[in-house]
Structure 1
Amino acid sequence: MTHSKKHALIVGASRGLGLGLAETFLRRGWRVTATRRGAAPGLEPLTAQGVRVEAVDIDDDASVTALHERLAGERFDLIFVVAGIVLESDQPLHAVSRAVHAQIFLTNAVSPLLFAEAFRDRLAPGSTLAFMSSVLGSVGRNTEGGWENYRASKAALNTNARSFAARHAARDFGVLLLHPGWVATDMGGEGADLDVATSAAGLADVIEARAGRTDLAFLDYRGETLPW
Protein backbone atom coordinates (compact mmCIF):
# COMPACT_ATOMS: atom_id res chain seq x y z
CA MET A 1 0.00 0.00 0.00
CA THR A 2 1.30 3.48 -0.87
CA HIS A 3 1.01 6.15 1.83
CA SER A 4 1.15 9.81 0.78
CA LYS A 5 1.33 11.16 4.33
CA LYS A 6 4.66 11.87 5.92
CA HIS A 7 5.58 9.23 8.48
CA ALA A 8 7.26 9.87 11.84
CA LEU A 9 8.85 7.36 14.18
CA ILE A 10 8.95 8.83 17.70
CA VAL A 11 11.22 6.74 19.90
CA GLY A 12 10.33 7.15 23.56
CA ALA A 13 6.75 8.44 23.38
CA SER A 14 5.16 7.02 26.50
CA ARG A 15 4.89 10.40 28.24
CA GLY A 16 6.22 13.95 28.36
CA LEU A 17 7.78 15.39 25.23
CA GLY A 18 7.71 12.12 23.32
CA LEU A 19 3.97 11.83 23.82
CA GLY A 20 3.53 15.51 23.02
CA LEU A 21 5.44 15.10 19.77
CA ALA A 22 3.35 12.09 18.77
CA GLU A 23 0.19 14.10 19.38
CA THR A 24 1.57 17.14 17.53
CA PHE A 25 2.60 15.31 14.38
CA LEU A 26 -0.67 13.38 14.37
CA ARG A 27 -2.62 16.66 14.46
CA ARG A 28 -0.49 17.94 11.58
CA GLY A 29 -1.56 15.06 9.39
CA TRP A 30 1.46 12.80 9.71
CA ARG A 31 1.33 9.06 10.11
CA VAL A 32 2.88 8.31 13.49
CA THR A 33 4.61 5.23 14.84
CA ALA A 34 5.42 5.70 18.52
CA THR A 35 7.48 3.50 20.81
CA ARG A 36 7.30 2.79 24.50
CA ARG A 37 9.57 0.81 26.80
CA GLY A 38 6.95 -0.13 29.40
CA ALA A 39 3.34 0.71 30.17
CA ALA A 40 2.15 3.89 28.45
CA PRO A 41 -1.40 4.78 29.47
CA GLY A 42 -1.10 8.22 27.90
CA LEU A 43 -0.07 6.78 24.55
CA GLU A 44 -2.56 3.98 24.18
CA PRO A 45 -5.59 6.25 23.44
CA LEU A 46 -3.79 7.49 20.32
CA THR A 47 -4.10 4.06 18.74
CA ALA A 48 -7.77 4.85 18.09
CA GLN A 49 -6.57 7.79 15.97
CA GLY A 50 -4.27 5.60 13.91
CA VAL A 51 -1.01 5.80 15.83
CA ARG A 52 0.95 2.56 15.67
CA VAL A 53 2.45 1.76 19.08
CA GLU A 54 5.46 -0.53 19.36
CA ALA A 55 7.57 -1.64 22.32
CA VAL A 56 11.35 -1.20 22.31
CA ASP A 57 14.16 -0.75 24.81
CA ILE A 58 16.92 1.21 23.08
CA ASP A 59 19.46 -0.18 25.56
CA ASP A 60 18.77 -3.72 24.34
CA ASP A 61 20.18 -4.76 20.96
CA ALA A 62 17.75 -7.65 20.56
CA SER A 63 14.81 -5.36 21.24
CA VAL A 64 16.01 -2.86 18.62
CA THR A 65 16.58 -5.62 16.07
CA ALA A 66 13.11 -7.02 16.68
CA LEU A 67 11.55 -3.59 16.13
CA HIS A 68 13.55 -3.14 12.94
CA GLU A 69 12.16 -6.43 11.67
CA ARG A 70 8.58 -5.56 12.66
CA LEU A 71 8.87 -2.30 10.72
CA ALA A 72 10.27 -3.97 7.62
CA GLY A 73 9.11 -2.14 4.51
CA GLU A 74 8.37 1.11 6.35
CA ARG A 75 10.13 4.33 5.41
CA PHE A 76 10.16 7.36 7.66
CA ASP A 77 10.38 11.07 6.93
CA LEU A 78 11.39 11.59 10.55
CA ILE A 79 13.01 9.38 13.13
CA PHE A 80 13.19 11.28 16.42
CA VAL A 81 15.02 9.56 19.28
CA VAL A 82 13.53 11.21 22.35
CA ALA A 83 14.28 8.52 24.92
CA GLY A 84 16.60 9.55 27.74
CA ILE A 85 16.96 9.40 31.50
CA VAL A 86 17.89 11.57 34.46
CA LEU A 87 19.51 9.87 37.45
CA GLU A 88 21.02 11.69 40.44
CA SER A 89 21.79 14.69 38.25
CA ASP A 90 21.45 17.03 41.20
CA GLN A 91 24.61 15.47 42.66
CA PRO A 92 28.21 16.41 41.78
CA LEU A 93 30.10 13.90 39.66
CA HIS A 94 32.09 12.43 42.54
CA ALA A 95 28.94 11.76 44.58
CA VAL A 96 27.38 9.48 41.97
CA SER A 97 28.20 5.79 41.62
CA ARG A 98 30.03 4.42 38.60
CA ALA A 99 27.00 2.25 37.83
CA VAL A 100 24.74 5.31 37.57
CA HIS A 101 27.25 7.13 35.36
CA ALA A 102 27.45 4.09 33.10
CA GLN A 103 23.66 3.89 32.77
CA ILE A 104 23.32 7.63 32.02
CA PHE A 105 25.95 7.50 29.29
CA LEU A 106 24.60 4.29 27.78
CA THR A 107 21.00 5.49 27.55
CA ASN A 108 21.60 9.15 26.71
CA ALA A 109 24.73 9.11 24.58
CA VAL A 110 25.35 5.64 23.14
CA SER A 111 22.01 3.87 22.65
CA PRO A 112 20.47 6.69 20.55
CA LEU A 113 23.32 6.37 18.04
CA LEU A 114 23.15 2.58 18.01
CA PHE A 115 19.44 2.92 17.25
CA ALA A 116 20.24 5.40 14.47
CA GLU A 117 22.75 3.01 12.91
CA ALA A 118 20.19 0.22 12.99
CA PHE A 119 17.42 2.34 11.47
CA ARG A 120 19.20 4.60 9.00
CA ASP A 121 18.08 2.27 6.19
CA ARG A 122 14.50 3.13 7.17
CA LEU A 123 14.96 6.86 6.45
CA ALA A 124 13.44 8.17 3.24
CA PRO A 125 15.48 10.50 1.00
CA GLY A 126 15.25 14.07 2.29
CA SER A 127 14.14 12.92 5.72
CA THR A 128 15.36 13.95 9.18
CA LEU A 129 17.10 12.02 11.92
CA ALA A 130 16.65 13.93 15.19
CA PHE A 131 17.99 13.42 18.68
CA MET A 132 16.63 15.05 21.82
CA SER A 133 19.60 16.95 23.14
CA SER A 134 19.75 19.87 25.58
CA VAL A 135 21.37 23.27 25.89
CA LEU A 136 23.08 21.64 28.88
CA GLY A 137 25.03 19.62 26.33
CA SER A 138 26.66 22.76 24.98
CA VAL A 139 30.28 22.78 26.16
CA GLY A 140 30.60 26.44 25.17
CA ARG A 141 27.62 27.44 27.31
CA ASN A 142 28.78 25.53 30.40
CA THR A 143 29.86 28.38 32.65
CA GLU A 144 27.96 27.45 35.81
CA GLY A 145 28.30 23.67 36.09
CA GLY A 146 25.53 21.68 37.72
CA TRP A 147 23.57 18.72 36.34
CA GLU A 148 26.98 17.18 35.81
CA ASN A 149 26.28 13.63 34.68
CA TYR A 150 23.26 14.65 32.57
CA ARG A 151 25.12 17.60 31.06
CA ALA A 152 28.09 15.40 30.16
CA SER A 153 25.84 12.72 28.65
CA LYS A 154 24.18 15.25 26.33
CA ALA A 155 27.56 16.69 25.32
CA ALA A 156 28.60 13.12 24.51
CA LEU A 157 25.38 12.61 22.54
CA ASN A 158 26.18 15.72 20.49
CA THR A 159 29.73 14.52 19.83
CA ASN A 160 28.57 11.04 18.87
CA ALA A 161 25.96 12.50 16.53
CA ARG A 162 28.61 14.67 14.88
CA SER A 163 30.76 11.57 14.38
CA PHE A 164 27.75 9.74 12.94
CA ALA A 165 27.12 12.60 10.52
CA ALA A 166 30.78 12.66 9.45
CA ARG A 167 30.87 8.90 8.99
CA HIS A 168 27.77 9.11 6.79
CA ALA A 169 28.78 12.27 4.93
CA ALA A 170 27.12 11.04 1.72
CA ARG A 171 23.76 10.53 3.45
CA ASP A 172 20.51 11.78 1.93
CA PHE A 173 18.93 12.82 5.27
CA GLY A 174 19.54 15.60 7.77
CA VAL A 175 20.77 15.20 11.34
CA LEU A 176 19.43 17.43 14.11
CA LEU A 177 20.30 17.81 17.77
CA LEU A 178 17.34 19.59 19.36
CA HIS A 179 16.96 21.45 22.65
CA PRO A 180 13.29 21.52 23.69
CA GLY A 181 13.60 24.36 26.19
CA TRP A 182 12.97 23.93 29.89
CA VAL A 183 9.72 21.98 29.81
CA ALA A 184 7.30 21.05 32.59
CA THR A 185 7.64 17.26 32.51
CA ASP A 186 8.62 14.64 35.07
CA MET A 187 12.19 15.13 33.87
CA GLY A 188 12.03 18.94 33.66
CA GLY A 189 10.66 19.36 37.15
CA GLU A 190 9.00 22.34 38.75
CA GLY A 191 9.39 25.94 37.66
CA ALA A 192 9.85 25.15 33.97
CA ASP A 193 9.34 27.89 31.38
CA LEU A 194 7.32 25.89 28.85
CA ASP A 195 4.49 23.42 28.69
CA VAL A 196 4.78 20.28 26.58
CA ALA A 197 2.43 21.52 23.85
CA THR A 198 4.44 24.71 23.24
CA SER A 199 7.78 22.90 23.11
CA ALA A 200 6.47 20.08 20.91
CA ALA A 201 4.92 22.55 18.48
CA GLY A 202 8.18 24.48 18.26
CA LEU A 203 10.22 21.33 17.67
CA ALA A 204 7.78 20.21 14.97
CA ASP A 205 8.03 23.63 13.31
CA VAL A 206 11.82 23.36 13.22
CA ILE A 207 11.71 19.86 11.77
CA GLU A 208 9.14 20.71 9.11
CA ALA A 209 11.00 23.90 8.11
CA ARG A 210 14.19 21.90 7.52
CA ALA A 211 12.58 19.10 5.50
CA GLY A 212 14.81 18.06 2.62
CA ARG A 213 18.03 19.42 4.12
CA THR A 214 20.89 17.00 4.65
CA ASP A 215 23.14 19.04 6.93
CA LEU A 216 23.86 18.78 10.66
CA ALA A 217 22.60 21.35 13.17
CA PHE A 218 22.23 21.93 16.93
CA LEU A 219 19.09 24.02 17.40
CA ASP A 220 16.55 24.94 20.04
CA TYR A 221 12.78 24.68 19.75
CA ARG A 222 12.66 28.18 18.20
CA GLY A 223 15.11 27.22 15.47
CA GLU A 224 17.99 29.19 16.96
CA THR A 225 21.48 27.75 16.59
CA LEU A 226 23.22 26.68 19.79
CA PRO A 227 27.01 26.59 20.34
CA TRP A 228 28.55 23.15 20.47
Structure 2
Amino acid sequence: MTIHATDRKSALIIGASRGLGLAMAAEYVSREWWVTATVRGDGRTALHDLADSADGRLTVEKVDITAPEEVAALHARVAGRAFDLLFVNAAISNGDVPVADVSTETFNRVMVTNALSPVRVVEALQDLVPPTGTIGIMSSRQGSITLNDRAGYEVYRASKSALNQLMRSFAARHGRDPRTLLLLSPGWVQTELGGPAAPLTIGESIPGIVDTIEKHAGKGGLHFVDHRNQTLPW
Protein backbone atom coordinates (compact mmCIF):
# COMPACT_ATOMS: atom_id res chain seq x y z
CA MET A 1 0.00 0.00 0.00
CA THR A 2 1.35 3.43 -0.89
CA ILE A 3 1.71 5.87 1.98
CA HIS A 4 1.77 9.64 1.76
CA ALA A 5 2.99 12.31 4.14
CA THR A 6 0.47 14.86 5.38
CA ASP A 7 0.65 18.25 7.05
CA ARG A 8 -0.18 16.57 10.35
CA LYS A 9 3.18 15.56 11.83
CA SER A 10 3.23 12.07 13.28
CA ALA A 11 5.71 9.93 15.18
CA LEU A 12 5.95 6.23 15.98
CA ILE A 13 8.01 5.83 19.15
CA ILE A 14 9.00 2.30 20.08
CA GLY A 15 9.67 1.81 23.80
CA ALA A 16 7.88 4.62 25.64
CA SER A 17 6.44 3.18 28.85
CA ARG A 18 8.88 5.10 31.05
CA GLY A 19 12.09 7.12 31.14
CA LEU A 20 13.45 8.64 27.96
CA GLY A 21 10.86 7.09 25.66
CA LEU A 22 7.97 8.34 27.78
CA ALA A 23 9.52 11.81 27.88
CA MET A 24 9.91 11.78 24.10
CA ALA A 25 6.25 10.91 23.65
CA ALA A 26 5.27 13.73 26.01
CA GLU A 27 7.55 16.19 24.24
CA TYR A 28 6.10 15.42 20.83
CA VAL A 29 2.56 15.63 22.16
CA SER A 30 3.41 19.04 23.64
CA ARG A 31 4.64 20.10 20.19
CA GLU A 32 1.26 19.08 18.76
CA TRP A 33 2.45 16.00 16.91
CA TRP A 34 0.25 12.93 16.63
CA VAL A 35 2.06 10.14 18.41
CA THR A 36 1.79 6.38 18.41
CA ALA A 37 3.98 4.96 21.18
CA THR A 38 4.53 1.46 22.45
CA VAL A 39 4.79 -0.45 25.69
CA ARG A 40 6.01 -4.00 26.13
CA GLY A 41 3.62 -5.56 28.63
CA ASP A 42 -0.11 -5.69 29.31
CA GLY A 43 -0.18 -3.56 32.46
CA ARG A 44 -1.09 0.08 32.71
CA THR A 45 1.86 2.49 32.48
CA ALA A 46 2.59 6.20 32.70
CA LEU A 47 2.21 6.25 28.91
CA HIS A 48 -1.45 5.30 29.29
CA ASP A 49 -1.87 8.14 31.79
CA LEU A 50 -0.28 10.52 29.28
CA ALA A 51 -2.63 9.29 26.57
CA ASP A 52 -5.61 10.09 28.78
CA SER A 53 -4.57 13.75 28.88
CA ALA A 54 -3.38 14.09 25.26
CA ASP A 55 -6.69 15.04 23.61
CA GLY A 56 -6.59 12.02 21.33
CA ARG A 57 -3.14 12.78 19.94
CA LEU A 58 -1.44 9.80 21.61
CA THR A 59 -2.24 6.16 20.80
CA VAL A 60 -0.71 3.35 22.84
CA GLU A 61 0.32 0.12 21.12
CA LYS A 62 1.96 -3.00 22.51
CA VAL A 63 5.12 -4.67 21.20
CA ASP A 64 8.09 -6.59 22.55
CA ILE A 65 10.87 -5.75 20.11
CA THR A 66 12.74 -8.95 20.92
CA ALA A 67 9.80 -10.94 19.50
CA PRO A 68 9.75 -10.60 15.68
CA GLU A 69 6.17 -11.89 15.49
CA GLU A 70 5.02 -9.01 17.72
CA VAL A 71 6.84 -6.49 15.54
CA ALA A 72 5.12 -7.98 12.49
CA ALA A 73 1.75 -7.76 14.26
CA LEU A 74 2.37 -4.10 15.09
CA HIS A 75 3.21 -3.43 11.46
CA ALA A 76 -0.07 -5.04 10.40
CA ARG A 77 -2.03 -2.87 12.83
CA VAL A 78 -0.54 0.43 11.59
CA ALA A 79 0.00 -0.52 7.92
CA GLY A 80 -0.85 2.20 5.43
CA ARG A 81 -0.12 5.03 7.83
CA ALA A 82 2.76 7.44 7.27
CA PHE A 83 5.03 8.49 10.13
CA ASP A 84 7.35 11.46 9.80
CA LEU A 85 9.47 9.88 12.51
CA LEU A 86 10.14 6.28 13.46
CA PHE A 87 12.17 6.23 16.66
CA VAL A 88 13.36 3.16 18.56
CA ASN A 89 14.25 3.53 22.22
CA ALA A 90 15.56 0.35 23.84
CA ALA A 91 18.39 -0.35 26.24
CA ILE A 92 19.27 -2.61 29.11
CA SER A 93 22.50 -2.96 31.06
CA ASN A 94 24.12 -5.75 33.01
CA GLY A 95 25.91 -3.23 35.22
CA ASP A 96 29.59 -2.40 35.43
CA VAL A 97 30.95 -5.92 35.05
CA PRO A 98 34.14 -6.85 33.17
CA VAL A 99 33.29 -8.84 30.07
CA ALA A 100 35.17 -11.93 31.27
CA ASP A 101 32.78 -12.16 34.22
CA VAL A 102 29.61 -11.91 32.14
CA SER A 103 27.64 -15.05 31.38
CA THR A 104 26.89 -15.96 27.78
CA GLU A 105 23.17 -15.68 28.54
CA THR A 106 23.55 -12.11 29.83
CA PHE A 107 25.79 -11.11 26.93
CA ASN A 108 23.26 -12.43 24.45
CA ARG A 109 20.35 -10.71 26.21
CA VAL A 110 22.05 -7.30 26.17
CA MET A 111 23.13 -7.64 22.54
CA VAL A 112 19.73 -8.82 21.34
CA THR A 113 17.90 -6.04 23.18
CA ASN A 114 20.27 -3.16 22.46
CA ALA A 115 21.61 -3.95 18.99
CA LEU A 116 19.82 -6.69 17.05
CA SER A 117 16.21 -5.92 17.98
CA PRO A 118 16.25 -2.14 17.31
CA VAL A 119 17.64 -2.68 13.83
CA ARG A 120 15.14 -5.47 13.17
CA VAL A 121 12.41 -2.98 14.06
CA VAL A 122 13.84 -0.46 11.62
CA GLU A 123 13.94 -3.09 8.88
CA ALA A 124 10.37 -4.21 9.63
CA LEU A 125 8.75 -0.78 9.95
CA GLN A 126 10.79 1.39 7.59
CA ASP A 127 8.14 1.28 4.84
CA LEU A 128 5.90 3.36 7.12
CA VAL A 129 8.32 6.32 6.82
CA PRO A 130 8.03 8.44 3.64
CA PRO A 131 11.09 9.73 1.71
CA THR A 132 11.00 13.00 3.67
CA GLY A 133 10.93 11.22 7.02
CA THR A 134 13.42 10.36 9.74
CA ILE A 135 14.41 7.02 11.27
CA GLY A 136 16.19 7.26 14.62
CA ILE A 137 17.50 4.99 17.33
CA MET A 138 18.63 5.91 20.83
CA SER A 139 22.33 5.14 20.95
CA SER A 140 24.91 6.34 23.46
CA ARG A 141 28.20 8.18 23.68
CA GLN A 142 29.45 4.92 25.17
CA GLY A 143 28.98 3.34 21.76
CA SER A 144 31.86 5.42 20.42
CA ILE A 145 35.02 3.33 20.11
CA THR A 146 37.09 6.49 19.71
CA LEU A 147 35.87 7.95 23.01
CA ASN A 148 36.38 4.77 25.06
CA ASP A 149 39.35 5.69 27.21
CA ARG A 150 37.88 4.69 30.58
CA ALA A 151 36.43 1.19 30.03
CA GLY A 152 33.56 0.22 32.32
CA TYR A 153 30.13 -1.10 31.38
CA GLU A 154 31.86 -3.15 28.73
CA VAL A 155 28.95 -5.21 27.40
CA TYR A 156 26.65 -2.18 27.29
CA ARG A 157 29.35 -0.25 25.40
CA ALA A 158 29.82 -3.14 23.00
CA SER A 159 26.07 -3.39 22.37
CA LYS A 160 25.83 0.28 21.44
CA SER A 161 28.91 0.03 19.21
CA ALA A 162 27.29 -2.96 17.51
CA LEU A 163 24.07 -0.97 17.11
CA ASN A 164 25.99 1.86 15.44
CA GLN A 165 27.75 -0.56 13.11
CA LEU A 166 24.49 -2.24 12.13
CA MET A 167 22.93 1.11 11.29
CA ARG A 168 25.96 2.02 9.19
CA SER A 169 25.39 -1.20 7.29
CA PHE A 170 21.71 -0.33 6.92
CA ALA A 171 22.66 3.08 5.53
CA ALA A 172 25.17 1.52 3.13
CA ARG A 173 22.58 -0.94 1.81
CA HIS A 174 20.15 1.93 1.27
CA GLY A 175 22.60 4.38 -0.21
CA ARG A 176 20.00 6.07 -2.44
CA ASP A 177 17.46 6.41 0.37
CA PRO A 178 16.70 10.12 0.97
CA ARG A 179 15.46 9.61 4.53
CA THR A 180 17.43 10.93 7.50
CA LEU A 181 18.99 8.27 9.73
CA LEU A 182 19.98 9.24 13.27
CA LEU A 183 21.84 7.56 16.09
CA LEU A 184 21.24 9.77 19.10
CA SER A 185 23.04 9.98 22.41
CA PRO A 186 20.88 11.50 25.16
CA GLY A 187 23.84 12.15 27.44
CA TRP A 188 24.23 10.70 30.91
CA VAL A 189 20.69 11.07 32.22
CA GLN A 190 19.03 10.46 35.58
CA THR A 191 17.01 7.40 34.61
CA GLU A 192 16.81 3.88 35.99
CA LEU A 193 19.67 3.01 33.64
CA GLY A 194 21.71 6.19 34.18
CA GLY A 195 21.30 6.34 37.94
CA PRO A 196 20.75 9.29 40.31
CA ALA A 197 24.34 10.58 39.97
CA ALA A 198 23.91 11.42 36.29
CA PRO A 199 24.43 15.13 35.55
CA LEU A 200 21.39 15.54 33.26
CA THR A 201 17.71 15.32 34.06
CA ILE A 202 15.29 13.88 31.53
CA GLY A 203 13.87 17.38 31.19
CA GLU A 204 17.29 18.68 30.16
CA SER A 205 18.04 15.87 27.71
CA ILE A 206 14.86 15.09 25.80
CA PRO A 207 13.95 18.56 24.47
CA GLY A 208 17.47 18.67 23.04
CA ILE A 209 17.01 15.25 21.46
CA VAL A 210 13.78 16.37 19.80
CA ASP A 211 15.33 19.66 18.68
CA THR A 212 18.23 17.72 17.13
CA ILE A 213 15.85 15.39 15.29
CA GLU A 214 13.97 18.38 13.89
CA LYS A 215 17.20 20.10 12.79
CA HIS A 216 18.13 17.05 10.71
CA ALA A 217 14.66 16.47 9.26
CA GLY A 218 14.64 16.31 5.48
CA LYS A 219 18.43 16.52 5.15
CA GLY A 220 19.15 12.82 4.64
CA GLY A 221 22.26 10.86 5.54
CA LEU A 222 23.33 8.95 8.64
CA HIS A 223 24.40 10.98 11.68
CA PHE A 224 25.72 10.00 15.12
CA VAL A 225 24.94 13.01 17.32
CA ASP A 226 24.12 13.91 20.90
CA HIS A 227 21.32 15.89 22.53
CA ARG A 228 23.16 19.15 21.75
CA ASN A 229 23.42 18.21 18.05
CA GLN A 230 27.17 17.69 18.44
CA THR A 231 28.61 15.06 16.09
CA LEU A 232 30.15 12.10 17.93
CA PRO A 233 33.10 10.09 16.58
CA TRP A 234 32.48 6.49 15.65
**Match for residue 119 of structure 1 among 122, 125, 140:** 125
1:64 counterpart letter in structure 2: V
Alignment of 1:1-228 (within 5 A): 4-38=7-41, 39-48=43-52, 49=54, 50=56, 51-87=58-94, 89-228=95-234
Q: Residue 213 of structure 1 aligns to which amino acid in structure 2?
A: K
Unmatched 5+ stretches in structure 1: none
Distance 2:161 2:133 in 1: 24
Cα deviation for residue 124 of structure 1 reads: 1.6
The separation in 1 between residues aligned to 2:31 and 2:131, in whole angstroms, is 21
3-state SS of 2:175 partner: coil
How many equivalent pairs are there? 227
Contact 2:178 2:221 in 1 (8 A): no
Asked if the contact 1:14–1:40 (Cα under 8 Å) also holds between the matched residues in 2, the reply is: no
Backbone CA RMSD of aligned residues: 1.3
Displacement of 1:30 in angstroms is: 0.6
**What is the deviation of 1:46?**
2.0
- Partner Cα separation in structure 2 for residue 113 and residue 47 of structure 1: 27
Note the C-alpha offset of 1:42. 0.8
Query: CA separation in 2, counterparts of 1:65 and 1:37?
Result: 14
Q: CA deviation at 1:4?
A: 2.7
- Contact 1:15 1:40 (C-alpha < 8 Å) held by counterparts: no
1:187 Cα deviation (Å)? 0.7
Matches of 1:81 and 1:197, distance apart in 2? 19
Measured after TM superposition, the shift of residue 5 of structure 1 is: 1.6
Percent of aligned pairs sharing the same letter:
47
* One-letter amino acid of the structure 2 residue matched with residue 204 of structure 1: V
Displacement, 1:40? 4.6
Give 1:78's aligned amino acid: L
TM-score of the two chains, using structure 2 as the length reference: 0.94
Conserved? CA contact 1:9–1:78, under 8 Å: yes
Supply the AA of the counterpart residue of 1:65: A
In 2, the alpha carbon distance for the partners of 1:197 and 1:62 equals 34
SS of 1:124's equivalent? coil
SS in 1 for 2:178: coil
Paired residue secondary structure (1:126): coil
TM-score (structure 1 length as normaliser)? 0.97
CA contact (8 A) 1:84 1:108 kept: yes
Q: Which runs of 4+ in 1 moved over 4 A?
A: none
